[in-house]
Structure 1
Amino acid sequence: MRRTARLVTGTALAVAAAGLAAAPAYGGATGSLEVYPSTVVPGGDVTVNTSACGADGTAAGDASAVGAGSFTLAPSAHEEDVIGQFRVPPSAQPGTYEIVAKCPGGRQVTGDLMVTLTSTREQIHPRGHVKTGVGGALGPDPVQTAAGVAALAVAAAGGTWLLHRRARGDGI
C-alpha cells in the first residue's frame, strides 16, 4: 500500500513538473485585449488595447472575424499598453466576434466585440403620427384641415354678424 501511494505521488509530481515546463514563460499576468466600445453598430470605430505585449512592444491585430481585416497596435501614452484601431464594416451582421492581437514572440490575447443594429449611446427620436383617438386641428390630411379652418371661419363670421345685429337693436 505504501508503495502504491509513493507511485501515485511520484506520478503526480512528474505530471505537474511537465506541465510547468510546458507552460509559457511570460511572467506576470496573462493580460487580455480590451475592446472599446465593446458594443458597436456597423460602420463604427473600435479601439483595442493590451498590456500583454509590454511598453515598447507592438502587436498585429486581427479583426477579420467581423470583416475589418488586420490592424497594428503600437505603443501608447498609457504605461505598458499598446493600442490600435479599426472600423467595423457597414455590412457587418449582428453578433459577437473575437478580436485577436498577436505580440512578438507568439503571445496572443483576445477580446470580444458585439455588433448590434441599434446603438445604446444614441438617443432614438420618435417619428410619425401618434394615434391617440383624440384627434387634433392639424392632422395628416390637408383636406380635413382645410375643412376645419373653413368651419371655424364661418362660425366666427356668423357670431360677429349676430353680435352686430344685437348691438343695433335689430333682434335675432
Structure 2
Amino acid sequence: MRNARLLSGTALAVAAAGVLAAPAPASAAPAGGLEVQPSTVTPGSTVTVRTTACGSGGTATGDASAVGAGTFTLAPGARPEDVAGRFEVPPSAQPGTYEIVAKCSGSGGAAVRNKQVAGDLVVTITSTAAAVEQPRPHPRGHVKTGVGGALGPDPVQTAAGVAALAVAAAGGTWLLHRRARGDRI
C-alpha cells in the first residue's frame, strides 16, 4: 500500500511538472513584432513592413532612417488586424543590418497607442536572385592590346622566326654538351 501511494505521488509530481514546464499557448504570446519583407535587399529596393501589434483598425508611423529612408506610414492592411507600409532603400545605402521601427498610433486603446515594434533589414551589394536570373555574359573576340601575336600574317617571317629559334636551341644544346664533357671552347 505504501508503494502504491509513493508511485501515485511520483506520477502526480511528474504530471504537474509537465504542465508547469509546458510552453505557453500561441494566443498568450504578445501581439507580433515587425515583419520586414524581403528581409535582405540591395540598395534601391522597395521593402514592405507589417505588424499585428497595433490592433484592429490601428495605424503606425514607421522609421527607416537608420538605412536612410526616413519615415513612412503603416495603414490597415488586407487583414483587419494588420497594418502595413512600404519604403524604398536609398541607392546610397551601405551594406549592413539596420533596425526598422514602427510606433503604433490611432485607434486601439491606450495599451496599443505608442507601442513600438522593430525588425531587421539586411542590405547587401549583390543579390543572389539577380545573379541566378541573369548570368553574366562571357567576353568574345580578340583583345586589342597593341602587342602583336606570335604568329604574324606573313608566313615567310613566321618561318624565319621558327628557324632562328631552332638554330639557337641547337647551338645552346651543343655548347652545354661540350661543357659537360669538359671540352674547352
Residue 68 of structure 1 and its aligned partner are, at CA, apart by 0.2
Match of 2:68 in 1: 67
What TM-score does the superposition give when structure 2 sets the normalisation length? 0.55
Q: CA distance change for structure 1 residues 122 and 64 in 2, over 3 Å: closer, same or farther?
A: same
Match of 1:115 in 2: 123
Residue 28 of structure 1 and its aligned partner are, at CA, apart by 5.4
Match of 1:129 in 2: 139
Match of 2:83 in 1: 82
How many equivalent pairs are there? 115
Alpha-carbon separation, structure 2, partners of 1:115 and 1:28: 30
Aligned 1:2-17 pairs, distance under 5 A = none
Unaligned runs of 5+ in 1: 1-26, 131-137, 152-172
Preserved contact between residue 102 and residue 118 of structure 2 (Cα < 8 Å) = yes
Amino acid at match of 1:115: V
Amino acid at match of 2:124: T
Residue 128 of structure 1 and its aligned partner are, at CA, apart by 4.4
What's the RMSD between the two structures over aligned residues? 2.6
Aligned 1:1-172 pairs, distance under 5 A = 29-104=30-105, 105-123=113-131, 124-129=134-139, 138-141=141-144
Alpha-carbon separation, structure 2, partners of 1:39 and 1:120: 10
SS at match of 1:122: helix
State, as a whole percentage, how many aligned pairs show the same letter.
Answer: 58
Residue 54 of structure 1 and its aligned partner are, at CA, apart by 1.1
Alpha-carbon separation, structure 2, partners of 1:69 and 1:35: 16
Preserved contact between residue 31 and residue 52 of structure 2 (Cα < 8 Å) = no
Amino acid at match of 2:58: G
Residue 29 of structure 1 and its aligned partner are, at CA, apart by 1.7
| Max Rg structure | 2
Preserved contact between residue 57 and residue 80 of structure 2 (Cα < 8 Å) = no
What TM-score does the superposition give when structure 1 sets the normalisation length? 0.59
Alpha-carbon separation, structure 2, partners of 1:139 and 1:60: 57
Unaligned runs of 5+ in 2: 1-27, 106-112, 156-185
Residue 80 of structure 1 and its aligned partner are, at CA, apart by 0.7
SS at match of 1:46: strand
String of CA shifts for 1:60-99, please: whole Å, max 9, x gaps.
Answer: 0000000000000000112410000000011100000000
